[in-house]
């Protein structure tokens, strides 16, 4: 349910409206954080040249990698006029205020997100290097088969932690993962046997799943656990709502617990205080 608040200004009788919609805030932060991934080389050179000629860019400074709407990295160099650039940003900030938000706060959230994403990229690069080393060892026939198999299983267990073993195709994408990141693994026969064994172990372990969704019903996070009690403990520990938190569970609006005992399955929605409350309607899974 979207909440709504309106206040009448006592001076001019203008009505100030505010709509409590988490998705609007997220979209506005997305706008401030958006950074162009590609600009035509000739256009980019012209922007940089103009910015340096007019003193808006230092000798070694470039707008690349900076937000388009949430910083002056592009606008001052493009317009070569402080007044025009300020007007450009002022119009954007006015729209944000009209939606009921503080543009300075959202810019801080956008900057925080970009800092986090840059850190995540570094972690991903490090993870890719580790996977490449594992793939080299797993596919090296000179190494003992038992050790190669043990490291192969460990890598797949880590990958499968967020997967649903109860679905028919729950573990199918592990085969693609093996081909893409683990050098093809140990061969088709062993690969199939190991993946089938891991899926069977997960099913026998209880296979109760906790799924977190955003306001649009898109799945943000999934975790498998052995019992409904553990699943509910995960729900309790998921924390207060925060749409910009690095933990996807904190950004979720809806939540679903499901497993082999249908009468114990449950759905939840965030209450206005950020806590989880029972939710009876269907949750769309667009993931």
- What's the mean pLDDT when you consider all of the chain? 83
Are residues 192 and 186 in contact, defined by beta-carbon separation less than 8 angstroms? no
The mean pLDDT of 236-252, rounded to a whole number, is: 83
For residues 20-42, give the mean pLDDT. Answer: 83
Range with lowest mean pLDDT among 27-31, 82-86, 149-153, 217-221: 217-221
Instruction: Classify residue 181 as exposed, middle or buried by CB count within 10 Å of its CB (0-12, 13-18, 19+).
Output: middle
Q: Residue 3: pLDDT band by 50, 70, 90 thresholds?
A: low
**Does the structure show a pLDDT above 60 at 18?**
no
pLDDT for residue 17 is more than 70:
no
pLDDT value, residue 2: 45
The pLDDT tens digits for 165-201 are: 666 676 788 898 899 889 999 999 999 999 988 888 7
Spatial strand order of the sheet with 208-213 comes to 219-225, 208-213, 254-258, 266-270, 276-278
Calculate mean pLDDT across residues 56-70.
Answer: 86
- pLDDT tens by residue, 126-174: 888 888 999 999 999 999 999 999 999 988 887 876 676 666 676 788 8
pLDDT score of 287 = 37
Q: What is the pLDDT of residues 196-231, one digit of tens each?
A: 888 887 776 657 888 898 887 888 888 877 788 888
% of the chain at pLDDT higher than 70: 88
Residue with more model confidence, 24 or 144: 144
Look at the pTM and tell me if it is higher than 0.85: no
Q: Is the dihedral of CA 120, 126, 128, 131 positive or negative?
A: negative
How is the chain split into domains, by residue range? Answer: 23-133, 139-204, 208-278
Give 143's contacts (C-beta < 8 A, 6+ positions apart): 137
Does residue 77 have a pLDDT over 50? yes
pLDDT value for 263: 85
The pLDDT of residue 16: 67
Q: Where do the DSSP E strands lie in the chain?
A: 3-8, 15-20, 208-213, 219-225, 254-258, 266-270, 276-278
What is the pLDDT averaged over residues 249-260?
86
């Amino acid at each position: 349910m979207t909440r709504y608040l309106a206040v009448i200004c006592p001076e001019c009788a203008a009505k100030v409206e505010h709509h409590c919609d988490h998705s609007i805030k997220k979209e506005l932060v997305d706008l401030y954080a958006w950074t162009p991934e590609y600009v035509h080389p000739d256009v980019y050179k012209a922007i940089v040249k103009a910015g340096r000629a007019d003193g808006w860019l230092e000798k070694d400074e470039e707008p690349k990698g900076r937000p388009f709407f949430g910083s002056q990295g592009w606008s001052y160099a493009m317009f070569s006029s402080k007044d025009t650039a300020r007007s450009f940003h002022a119009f954007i900030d006015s729209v944000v205020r009209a939606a009921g938000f503080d543009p300075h706060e959202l810019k801080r959230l956008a900057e925080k997100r970009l800092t986090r994403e840059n850190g995540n990229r570094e972690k991903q690069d490090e993870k890719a290097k580790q996977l490449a080393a594992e793939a080299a060892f797993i596919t090296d026939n000179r190494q003992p088969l038992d050790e190669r198999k043990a490291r192969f299983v460990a890598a797949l267990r880590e990958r499968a932690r967020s997967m649903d073993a109860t679905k028919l195709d729950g573990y199918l994408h592990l085969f693609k993962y093996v081909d893409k990141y683990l050098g093809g693994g140990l061969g088709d026969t062993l690969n199939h046997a190991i993946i089938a064994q891991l899926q069977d172990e997960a099913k026998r372990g209880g296979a109760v799943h906790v799924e977190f969704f955003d306001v649009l019903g898109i799945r943000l996070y999934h975790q498998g656990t052995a019992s409904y009690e553990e699943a509910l403990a995960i729900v309790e520990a998921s924390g207060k709502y925060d749409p910009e938190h690095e933990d996807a569970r904190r950004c979720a609006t809806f939540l679903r617990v499901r497993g082999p005992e249908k009468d114990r399955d449950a759905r939840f929605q965030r209450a206005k205080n950020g806590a989880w409350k029972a939710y009876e309607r269907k949750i769309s899974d667009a993931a």
